Structure 1
Amino acid sequence: MKVTALCIRLSIISSLLLVVQLHFSHSLEYGFPQVVPNRQQHFEYETFTVSCEGLNGLTGWRVMRKIKGVDTICASTWETSTGPCEIKNAYEESESGEYWCEMKGVNRSKTVNITVSAASVILESPVLPVMEGDDVTLSCRNKQTPSTLTAEFYKDGFFMGSSSTAEMTIPNVSKSNDGLYKCSISGAGESAESWLTVTEFNETPHSSRELQQYLLICIFVIVLLVSLLLFMGLLRCKKYQRTIRVSESRQTTVAEEQMATYDEILSPTEEQVFGEIGVFKWQEPTYSCVTKHKME
């Protein structure tokens, strides 16, 4: 019984740990950080801000980033790393990478890619995924000459077209528009590549999926705990019933022994009766002659 109870406790603990792990793994990703200005590419020495404040109604997010494969905080010190991260005079080598937000080591936002370019041309494209069916505008920007110049646009290395306004609008985007985009301006150079992500229109919002998963996990935990409690209750009932049966059996045995002794006292055996009577058995008298002498 002790072994069974121990196994049940270990099963409960293992299940709870599994649920906690599942819950944490599913709650790692929330929405996306906000980047101001809203573009993936930035010129070197420009200023941009990454923030997750208010994401999912929470505050106190810490902006993190991965630069050349190394995870670091965005701020200069850990104590000041919560809240928006403003990067001034951005450098290509130290600021280009993946950015996300974390809170207490559990909650984590999705990742955005930011490219700081030392080139003269950048492609202005949305930081966040765009919804299927929306119109998306790509802009080619020249650092040296702010005036409008003719730009050429490419997707996955293939020429898409040119524009005298340095802008190209992709109408009614779909998943087929996912890919790497770049642009070039004659005499100025070309931009780095940036990935454009299109989200399906009928895709369930991430927060709804998280809520559904969380509810399913809660239901699973409740059902498991109730089942284990019922099982333990049945084991205890059986143990109690066995205890009662053993106790009743012992009481019956003692009562029978006492009754047998009592009967033996009240109803002696024939040998005992005759044995007692034999003590008082009549004996034949013995006679003898006594001569009495006369005194002179």
Structure 2
Amino acid sequence: MWPWGQTTQLLVEPPWTPPVLWDRVTLTCHGLGTPGATTWYKDGQRWWQKGPDRFVVTESGTYQCYRPGTGRSPPVSVFNGEGGLLVLQVPVWALLEGDMVTLRCRGWQDKPVASVSFYREEKQLQRFRDGTELSLSPLGRYRCNFQMGTNRLESVPVTVTVHGEHPHGRHPKYSDSPTLIPSRLPITVSSC
């Protein structure tokens, strides 16, 4: 049986969402059918017919792929930092109950940021002078900001959700290799 059910999947590397152009994002199309028979869509329009199964993204936009036999993948949007100078990212793999998740607050094109604050449901969780990552297990709506004098930059909020319990009550080690299943993304990106 096809490992992701009978649907085409679009995998993202590096495995963070929302993916940002300055990370040199690679998209890989997985599905049944003949290799090399992949059709790519960008912003809803057919963009590349009989393209490769994998490529490096050079333009921001929303991408999908189509494989004969398993159909069109769920969309993946790659951003170039439009709408703000901070981005809050979480891993793309599906989270199960009890998992730890790492949130990354990053400056546009990886510009250094300091004095980053993380918020959950509008309550400040932690402030770092130098750090930009926070690992935690509670679910909820998160954002980060960066304050410098009177200037304040804020990320688009993300909502972290779980997608089930660990099989047989087993809790995996955080270092276990994740399964990248973008159709089961652990977050939804919502606008401010």
TM-score, length basis structure 2: 0.62
| Among 18, 29, 45, the residue aligned to 1:52 | 29
Q: State the 1:135 CA deviation.
A: 0.9
What is the 5 A alignment of 1:64-79? 64-65=41-42, 67=43, 71-73=44-46, 76-79=47-50
Match of 1:150?
A: 115
- Once superposed, what is the RMSD of the aligned Cα atoms? 3.6
What is the 5 A alignment of 1:113-132? 113-118=77-82, 119-132=84-97
Q: State the 1:199 CA deviation.
A: 1.4
Encode CA deviations 1:168-227: one digit per residue, 9 max, x unaligned. Answer: 1113x5xxx1x5432111136112233434211257xxxxxxxxxxxxxxxxxxxxxxxx
Given that 1:130 and 1:197 are in contact with CA atoms closer than 8 Å, whether structure 2 keeps it comes out as: yes
TM-score, length basis structure 1: 0.43
Match of 1:186?
A: 147
C-alpha spacing 1:58/1:111, structure 2 compared with 1 (3 Å): farther
C-alpha spacing 1:184/1:200, structure 2 compared with 1 (3 Å): same
Q: Structure 2 counterpart of 1:116, which letter?
A: N
| Among 57, 81, 94, the residue aligned to 1:87 | 57
Structure showing greater radius of gyration is 1
| Among 115, 135, 138, the residue aligned to 2:103 | 138
C-alpha spacing 1:33/1:42, structure 2 compared with 1 (3 Å): closer
Given that 1:43 and 1:143 are in contact with CA atoms closer than 8 Å, whether structure 2 keeps it comes out as: no
C-alpha spacing 1:123/1:104, structure 2 compared with 1 (3 Å): same
C-alpha spacing 1:181/1:100, structure 2 compared with 1 (3 Å): farther
C-alpha spacing 1:143/1:131, structure 2 compared with 1 (3 Å): same
Gaps of 5+ in 2: 168-192
Gaps of 5+ in 1: 1-26, 204-296
Match of 1:251?
A: none
C-alpha spacing 1:59/1:146, structure 2 compared with 1 (3 Å): same
More strand by percentage? 2
Match of 2:127?
A: 163
Q: Which protein, 1 or 2, shows the higher relative CO under an 8 Å CA cutoff with sep ≥ 6? A: 2
Given that 1:51 and 1:83 are in contact with CA atoms closer than 8 Å, whether structure 2 keeps it comes out as: yes
The alignment of Structure 1 onto Structure 2 pairs a total of residues equal to 158
Given that 1:63 and 1:84 are in contact with CA atoms closer than 8 Å, whether structure 2 keeps it comes out as: no
Distance in structure 2 (CA, Å) of the matches to 1:107 and 1:121: 35
